A and B are shown apart, each in its own frame.
Chain A
């Protein structure tokens, strides 16, 4: 049979979407004239946006709408306004940003990225910007501004490393989060993020795994563990009255099964009753990356599930940003909770301290180094716990430099896992690859699902021969059952 490909690979994302709805006529002329290649993610269509309650704003109306949204945002998030006001352009952030180091694009310096918003903020919302715009470098908001926002706020991983080095503590991640939210209300969201967001609203997890598939996978993994250990180690689902609701990453059911079986072995060895909830097998909360309403909806699902199952605590699995949302935002959203939310690294560390689990480090004889996921080390108080665990379950643990709150991002943070961004993603991962290479490690422990998806590609691309594993993967090997 003959076939004629009319697939339009390589066309600018903006042009692709324009072709879908020609009647509405948002031609995005500037984008079409200047093909972006793959330096920005494919845009979601109207159909992709709909489940998230978002709509496409016509190009002609976009700058005026963006100005209104920026005005609302500066009042809604006071830190955003403060960060707009206090920057002195000292440049301390520039060399600390893996995005700038990897891409060498000056607009990826945190100060320059923030200036894409700051110049507009000054133009409309400060006295000097309104009356003497050229004096302060203030600029009118145009369609080109919005194009630049979309490109550069999606080349920031929201890793917060710049905030560690800024003398004023300006957190560009907060600026990126705010600006992506504004872009979302203009209908400008990467299709990858809307596809994940729709899955989350439909099934409670990023991959869109329905309950029957979850049960099938769980049964498969129980059989695998039986073959491996000879023991009946359960992975309970929807078990009311369990002590722990374990909230993993849905990628554990596709590409990272050893993380989930590691958790199952830990709870089994410690004699802790636990359960998954088929309503929410996902710590990841992509709402943090573009949509506060989605962030809230996913958080509500978690708390609702925990109450329905009457658990005594929630334990978050290996996910960085999701942990940030659980730990930092849960009580802001829900008020004081009747149960704690802990992290699996805290759990493992505590069980080892209490000698409720025993381990054999001989099970992990290789040289192991630890990657601090950004949202654990810079936004979630998980720094020493995984190290305390690793020192007990491995024979040769080495720190990479820099580490802890100064660790470089993997380059996939904030949901930059889309294939079309592969070239940029590899540039964003370069600083991390250099850190890992210097350790000579054979295993790179990275307890975050985004890091686990990104790092194997980065390490291969930059010729660093290392295997990427989760913390619970290594614990699962070492635990004595």
Chain B
């Protein structure tokens, strides 16, 4: 499994760049992944709103929320989420939030 040497910590990621242990997530790591994985130099307030929403949901339920629920609860439509995270809610936003990659028929 590939790793990212991040400061003093080795962070294990899968081949698609998803952090393997959600506990290793920090805001700094999110900024780093944003740059590396999504080509984003800055994370705006709206980015953080999505990221924190995903993390809170994951901590409560152990899985990413339905995309429509993410949109409704953040007040952002899907098009805007794609503007924020070019790879989309599953492959972009979930990755930056340190969630496991949504898998299955998606």
Contacts and interface: CB of A to CB of B under 8 A. Distances in A.
B75 interface: no
Interface stretch (A4-12, A73-81, A161-169): A4-12
Contacts of A419: 16, 91
Contacts of B28: 1
A251 B104 contact: yes
A289 B35 CA distance: 36
B89 to A, nearest CB: 9
Interface stretch (A252-260, A335-343, A351-359, A393-401): A252-260
Interface residues of B, number: 33
**Top 7 A-B pairs, shortest CB-CB distance:** A206-B104, A449-B105, A213-B61, A207-B104, A7-B2, A4-B5, A251-B105
Interface string B88-106: 0011000000000011111
Contacts of B63: 207-210, 213
A209 B13 CA distance: 22
Nearest to B91: A419
Interface string A188-228: 00011001100100000111111011001100110010000
A255 B90 CA distance: 10
Given A191-B14, A210-B63, 12 more contacts: A6-B5, A7-B17, A9-B17, A16-B15, A191-B15, A206-B105, A208-B103, A217-B65, A254-B66, A254-B106, A255-B106, A257-B68
With most chain A CB atoms within 10 A of its CB, the pick from B5, B14, B63 is: B63
Interface in B4-49: 4-7, 13-17, 28, 32, 36
B99 to A, nearest CB: 12
B4 A3 contact: yes
Contacts of A319: 105
A481 to B, nearest CB: 20
B104 A217 contact: no
Interface residues of A, number: 48
B66 A220 contact: yes
B104 A6 contact: no
B3 interface: yes
Contacts of B90: 254-255
Contacts of A31: none
Contacts of A237: none
B6 A1 contact: yes
